[in-house]
Amino acid sequence: MLLKHKTTGRLVEIIDILELTNPDDAQLVGCILWGEDLPDPENFDKSELCFPSGEELPKCWSDESFQEDEVMERFGMRKYPSGGHALY
């Protein structure tokens, strides 16, 4: 899969798609496409990458609790400052 490096605008070929979609992985391995030869793989922060169109990566690929507030509200739960949860 190809993504765009936000800073340089260059395309990055992602080596492992599962690494990309796993919200526990903040970094992934890829190769910047530059010239005729494929360079050595290097690590990239997901926050530095976007789709070639410029669209951001889905939040569920980088934030494992992206729907937590919505789910808690739906089931009548609330957060305590200590991080615990309780039913209303």
Give the Cα separation of 52 and 31 in Å (integer): 15
Q: Which residues contact 10 (CB under 8 A, 6 or more apart)?
A: 4, 32, 33, 34
Residue ranges of the domains in the chain? 2-87
Q: How many CB atoms lie within 10 A of CB 27?
A: 13
Residue tagged 């993504």 (tokens): 3
Higher pLDDT, 87 or 42: 42
pLDDT value at residue 87:
47
pLDDT value at residue 69:
67
Predicted confidence (pLDDT) per residue in 8-56, tens digit: 999 999 999 999 999 989 999 999 998 777 789 999 999 999 999 999 9
